[in-house]
Structures are given as structure tokens and as C-alpha cells.
Amino acid sequence: MATPRGTTLPQHRELSVNGITMHVAEQGRGPLVLLLHGFPESWYSWRHQFGPLAEAGYRVVAPDQRGYGGTDRPEDVDAYTILHLVGDVVGLIAALGEREAVVVGHDWGAPVAWHTALMRPDLVRGVVGLSVPAVPRASRPPLRLLREQFGDDFYQLYFQRPGVADAELGRDPRATFRRVLGRAPDGGTAPDSPATGFLDRFAEPRVLPPWLTEADVDAFVDQYRRNGFTGGLNWYRNIDRNWELTAPWDGAVITPPGMFIDGDQDVVRGFMPADALPRLVPNLRSVHHLAGCGHWTQQERPREVNGALLEFLSGL
């Protein structure tokens, strides 16, 4: 990753957080902004946000979340519930010596951000979701609803089988990241047979998109050598458990100021619409739909994302 002259790189360290050792990257001084990545990603997903936010006067911290990269990976599947993940954010704020933070999340990091703002609004100055909006708690266990709507082949259902997706994704991590991050709407080689695994859903890109370099792919591959993919997959294996655990907050709203950003080509739009956001986040400051942008929002469109983040932060 090229660094502009005079710009410092994030510093790395490990912290004791909520019973685990957590690796974090941090840069800058000022009000705390936490950046929470999704699957299959790491702190590196926010590489384009550190410099601009730090230079604007913020303390920017991006952890490897529970089960990822340089952070511990507990063995038990039930150690990855939304309560554990929110607890990690609460513990991280304290471990950093802070009393509050703006919490920003992408993909799976977005539900963690939304739920942190829901459950601990006293700690959250503002909340931003990228790609995944806040959604109402389902009327029935979510996996059953997903099966009824999309069938048994839906990827979140495929991820439920212990060891299966873990082995598929870990067999050739470089190929995994090139396909999942670097897939393009055309110019790739689609599989000739129906999808039998997760990676079969993606074309093999002949050339990576302009926003992703081979060095970026190398960085993700290197970070997955320690923990592999099981930790991140265990988040999916708690979807129904999370539904049970969040019953006390059914009907509650997210009170801190909020913002949502997504791409108009993001596949998440097909099964997680943002229609309920104004009702669930009554202090929703803005919504940004980025034309021509896919799922990897802050990596694909850093200029627009950084601009929106800075505008939101300056208004708090």
C-alpha cells in the first residue's frame, strides 16, 4: 500500500479485551473512531481510512475482531454470539482508556456496530453501517426464514455445517481472496456446473479490479495464516442464537446519531433491505447509495466513504 509523503502508518499492538487477546491497528489522536471489519476481512480492510481520519483529528482504531487475524480464536462456537461481539467493543473502548467512541462497521461489522449502539448507547457518540443496514428483529428464527426464501443452497445456510466451508475457503486462501474480493461482473470465468460450494458462486477474475492489488490479496492471505476462516464462520453459526439472545431489545430503537452507506450493486440489498432504517434509527443523519459500487464499500470507494465519514463526524 502506497503511503503519501509525510503520512505515518498505523501502529500495531495487542490488548487484553473481554477475556481474549485482541490485535489492533491505530493511528492519530483525538476522539475515538472504531472501525469494525466484516467477513472475510481484517483491520486491513480499512487501510484507506486511517490517514484521512487521523489527519482530520481523530484517533482511529481497527481491530482484528474475535476469531480473525492476530486476535484470539476461541474454540467454542457459542463464544461468537452478538453479546460476545458487542462485549468486545465495550471492552476495547475501556482498554484504550476511552469513555466513548464512534463505531463504524462494514458487512458483519455493521450488525456489531448497530447492536453496540442499541445495547450501550451511553458509549456510542455515533454509529455508521456500511453495506448492512439495521433491520428489525425477525418474527421467527432467521435461518428458517432464509431457507424458505432462498432455499438450502443459500450461502449462510451452507456456512452452518462445521468444517465444510472452513476447509473449502482454507484450501487455497489466495484463490479464495482473489475470487471473493476480486470478482467482477464480467471478464471472469464462471463455473460450468451448478454451485456446490461457496467459491463456485464467484467467477475467477483474470484481472483484479482497479481498487484491489495483488499486494492487497497477499496482505489478507498472510493475516489468515494464524486463525484461518473458522472464527469468522462461527459468527454465522450463531445467527439463530443471536435471535434468541436479542429478544429483550425487540422493538427498541437505536438512539445515537447514525449514518448508512452502501453500493447500488451490493448483493446484500437483495436480502437485507434498508427500508426500516428511519424507524430503527430515529436520529439517522444521512444515507449514501454509491452508484456503481459493490459490496466492499470502503475499499472500492474510499474517497466517497471518507468524505461521508468526515462530514458525519464533524456534525457530532
Please give the order of strands across the beta sheet that includes 284-290: 11-17, 20-27, 59-63, 32-36, 101-106, 124-130, 258-263, 284-290
What burial class does residue 168 get, using C-beta atoms within 10 Å of its C-beta: 0-12 exposed, 13-18 middle, 19+ buried?
Answer: middle
For 288, the enclosing helix (H) or strand (E) is: strand 284-290
Residue 295 annotated to the active site: yes
* Cβ–Cβ under 8 Å, residues 64 and 14: no
Catalytic residue among 88, 107, 262, 266: 107
Give the angle 53-181-76 at the CA atoms, nearest 5°: 85
Contacts of 97 (CB under 8 A, 6+ apart): none
* Cβ–Cβ under 8 Å, residues 67 and 227: yes
Catalytic residue among 23, 48, 288, 295: 295
Contacts of 160 (CB under 8 A, 6+ apart): 143, 236, 237
* Among 103, 111, 62, 106, CA closest to 82: 111
Which residues are known catalytic residues? 107, 295
